Amino acid sequence: MTLTEKILAKKAGVKSLTPQEFIEIEPDLALSNDITAPITIDEFEKAGGKNVRCPERVFMIPDHFTPNKDILSAEHYRKLKDFAAKHAGVRFFEQGEVGVEHALLPEMGAIRPGMVVIGADSHTCTYGALGAFSTGVGSTDVAGFLLTGKAWLKVPPTVKAVFTGVMGEWMSGKDLILLLIGKIGVSGAQYRAIEFSGPVIDALSVEGRMTMANMAIEAGGKNGVFVPDTKVAEYLKGRTKEKGDYLAPDADAVYERTVTIDVTGLTPVVACPHLPENVKPARDIMNVRIDQVVIGSCTNGRIEDMRVAAKILKGRKVDPNLRCLVLPATPKIYRQALDEGLFQVFLDAHAVISPPTCGPCLGGHMGILAHGERCVSTTNRNFVGRMGHRESEIYLASPAVAAASAVAGRITDPSELMK
């Protein structure tokens, strides 16, 4: 069996599973946010729900429009808060402690290897970086979990993505996942598990793996998953006392197909409008002028990302003709960046520092694009109208490319700026 099949088989209490089987399981954790949870709550109550079946497994995280941007978002926030107060055990996060959900839960040790996690947010697949099976589901699926403590799904076939070679100085997990999506397309792994492997993956940090797992959905994936190793164990040390289940694929595991990418000699890339598969080397499009840079989100808002951006921005100024927004993904990352002096670098560079929020990624707030504006963003989607006006453009990139572009005022390969 593949890693995904082994995790699901153990959770389903069976010896083996094959793709396309339907299973009923009891997930270890379910989450929803300020956009999806109100629907979940409504459906739970319409179905006559009185008590949440497994409240300690439920996390409600208002991160998309936090701090509340308008009356409607404030009402949604209040709805989650009241529901959590009514159902003891349900975890709700006040705005002083709330962070972007897919950075917050791993940070607090809520995710461990071998877990099964469902979430009413498509980027729930992030947690595969820690050796968990995690996938996005609908708000009504989470309502079903609140009622029954169970969920059902179809076992996905697995695509094995192998990364070999030697990474260049400014290459990162963001570049790796964009290279994969560029190669197989946004439907290349539709309802498939993507199992990441190879020597480049072994050397990659846990934060870099989270970036890759996060964007498995951008290739159509059901989930993205990494074999948990000593780096995962080290990451979890001090975050949780639970050991987790460190599973691995069988030596004779059956994969639907294997995709191999040799990164030797490759340079940072950018996904151009209007699909994550429209990938080009940053150095090939350095004539594209931009109006905004966003460094943050559930994809690239962790402390490693903040450090990379600060390394490039230190001693430099953001081009005066654009906005550079920096969004640490959680309060802990925010404080750590402050303590390390990274905020001083950002402020000296004339960047704007935002509290933790998903805001600009989905065109919610804190960085909306006007007609004709272009943005280089470390987020995960660049569809038409994703960050504002339908006639704006989004270029997806790593924190290194984003920071270098902020200084140059145009899309820039960081190696060109740092000569």
Neighbour tally for 339: CB within 10 Å: 9
3-state secondary structure of 388: strand
Q: Would the pLDDT of 70 be above 90?
A: yes
CATH of range 3-260; options 3.30.499.10, 1.20.140.160, 3.10.20.30, 1.10.10.10: 3.30.499.10
Q: How confident is the model at residue 95 (pLDDT cuts 50, 70, 90)?
A: confident
Res 300: pLDDT? 97
Q: How confident is the model at residue 94 (pLDDT cuts 50, 70, 90)?
A: confident
Amino acid 415 reads S
Q: Would the pLDDT of 418 be above 90?
A: no
Whole-number percent of the chain with pLDDT over 70: 100
- Domain layout of the chain by residue ranges: 3-260, 270-417
Given this chain, do its domains 3-260 and 270-417 carry the same CATH topology?
yes
Model pLDDT for residues 393-405, shown as the tens digit of each residue: 999 999 999 999 9
Res 417: pLDDT? 87
If you average pLDDT over residues 239-244, what whole number do you get?
92
If you average pLDDT over residues 151-177, what whole number do you get?
97
Res 210: pLDDT? 98
Res 193: pLDDT? 98
- Residue range 270-417 in CATH 3.30.413.10: no
Model pLDDT for residues 38-61, shown as the tens digit of each residue: 999 999 999 999 999 999 999 999
Res 34: pLDDT? 94
As a whole number of angstroms, the distance between CA 185 and CA 277 comes to 5
Kind of pairing, strands 279-281 and 269-271? antiparallel
If you average pLDDT over residues 233-240, what whole number do you get?
95
Model pLDDT for residues 326-372, shown as the tens digit of each residue: 999 999 999 999 999 999 999 999 999 999 999 999 999 999 999 99
Question: ∠ CA 219-149-39 to the nearest 5 degrees?
Answer: 65
Kind of pairing, strands 29-33 and 58-61? parallel
Whole-number percent of the chain with pLDDT over 90: 97
User: DSSP labels for 144-184?
Assistant: HHHHHS-EEEEPPPEEEEEEES---TT--HHHHHHHHHHHH
Sheet holding 352-353, edge to edge: 279-281, 269-271, 393-396, 374-377, 292-296, 323-327, 352-353
